[in-house]
Structure formats: structure tokens, C-alpha cells
Amino acid sequence: MGDTNDRSRSAKRELRRSLLARRRERSAPERDRAGSAVRDTLMGLPWLAMGGTVASYYSVGGEPDTRRLVNALWKRGTYVLLPVFLPDGTLDWAAFDGPDSLAPAGHGLVEPTGHRYGPEVLGRADAVICPALAVDRRGNRMGRGAGCYDRALAHKGPHTPAIAVVHDDEFVEELPTEPHDRPVDAVVTPGGGLHVFEPAAVIWPGR
């Protein structure tokens, strides 16, 4: 078991390096096009269309742009939570109240400056939009290696969808995994739209 986990960790490190290098090469127009497509797909989903509370993130670097999505949800009246990274690797959450509610937080990140609600507030979200470097056909998600979202997703409700956002070529056949990795319920890509994994932990309307 130990050898298997060691091999998985090594494979993940190599794959992360490759994925991050590829993201650094993506142009601003490509990221913008990806962001518009992702926004249009996500804005039409029932959990996001009905208002309520959505936990999302403010994209950085070569990630598909989610800033359009966050602003569109906020303007529509959705209560949007964004992550605040704590020193111990825990994700706290605070409300997005327009671009002026954000401040630089290091490593290119921006974070909301308002009241922090604690990690458990994710249990009240109607949907969780989470970043990923890659997602595979079984719903396994690869992050940046700190485990922040693996721990955070433990707080979401059992019927709350966790939806990852990646570029088209980051939706892959299979990823190396470790026991602590938490899968997502769906993935959105710019060209392929929404893909729901089966069996899903949530009830997807129309399925």
C-alpha cells in the first residue's frame, strides 16, 4: 500500500508540473473565451439559477476565467462565497460584495475582506464551484497539492453538487489518486459544457 501511494504521489507531482507549465502558456484571449463559455454553462444550472448561496473562487493565472461568473451571480442576487486561505491550509469563506470587496492576498490571489463565516458554512451552499488542474472520467480531481479543497469539500451538504472547472484538454481519461482525494460530482469545460459523473452524490434534475 505504501509503495502504491508513493507511486501515486510521484505521478501526481510530475503531472502537476506539466499541467501548470501548459497553463502558463495559455493566452489571455484563450482564458477569456474559456471564461465566457464556462459562465454561460454554469449560469443555466438549476442550483445557480435559483439564487441562494454559491461557493465559488476567483480565478488566477492560467485557470479558466471565473471572475465573469462570480460577478454575474452577484449581480443577479446570488449570495456568493469566496475562499480565504488560512495559514494552516484550511479554507475559510467570506462573501463577495463586488470587486471592491476584494484585496490582494499573495501568490496572485485576491480574497474577500468581509466577515469570515468559518469552514462549516459550506454546508449551507447550494453549489460549490471548485478549481482543479485536471479532472478524470470518474470524477477524480487534481488540485495543486495542498489538499485545501479535499478538506473543504468534506463540509458540503450530501446533496450539494461540487463542480470543477477545467480547460478542455484537462478533462482526461484517468488521474493518479490517493486515499484522501475527494472526487467532484461534475465538471464544466469551455467546449464540452457540463459532464455529470455517475453515480452522482446529488439529484440532478432531468437525469
- d(CA 38, CA 194) in angstroms, rounded, equals 9
Which pLDDT value is given to residue 101? 95
- When the pLDDT of each residue in the chain is averaged and rounded to a whole number, the result is 90
The answer to whether 62 is annotated as binding is no
Was 192 annotated as part of a binding site? no
Determine if residue 94 is labeled as part of a ligand binding site: no
The model's pLDDT over 113-127, given as tens digits with 9 standing for 90+, comes to 999 999 999 999 999
- Please tell me the distance from the alpha carbon of residue 185 to that of residue 202, in angstroms, as a whole number: 8
Span 18-44, average pLDDT? 93
User: What's the whole-number mean pLDDT along residues 6-10?
Assistant: 74
Query: Strands across the sheet with 79-85, in order?
Result: 91-95, 79-85, 53-55, 127-131, 162-165, 186-189, 193-196
Find out whether 182 is annotated in a ligand binding site. no
Residue 206 has pLDDT above 90, yes or no: no
Q: Is 30 within any annotated ligand binding site?
A: no
Check the annotation: does 147 bind a ligand.
yes
Specify the pLDDT at position 198: 72
Is residue 156 part of an annotated ligand binding site? Answer: no
Asked whether the predicted pLDDT for residue 4 surpasses 70, the reply is no
Query: What pLDDT, on the 0 to 100 scale, is given for residue 201?
Result: 58
178 is an annotated ligand-binding site residue: no
Predicted confidence at residue 177, as pLDDT, reads 85
Give pLDDT tens digits for 102-116. 999 877 889 999 999
CB 84 within 8 A of CB 116: yes
Under CATH, which number does the domain 2-196 receive?
3.40.50.10420
Q: Residue 61 has what pLDDT?
A: 87
DSSP tag of 52: S
Domain locations along the chain: 2-196
pLDDT in tens, 34-69: 999 999 999 998 888 777 999 999 999 899 999 999
Residue 16 in marked binding region: yes
Concatenating the DSSP letter of every residue in 65-109 gives P-HHHHHHHHHTT-EEEEEEE-TTSPEEEEE--SGGGEEEEETTE
SS3 content of the chain, % helix, strand, coil (to 5): 35, 25, 40
**Is 13 annotated among the ligand-binding residues?**
yes
- pLDDT at position 141 over 80: yes
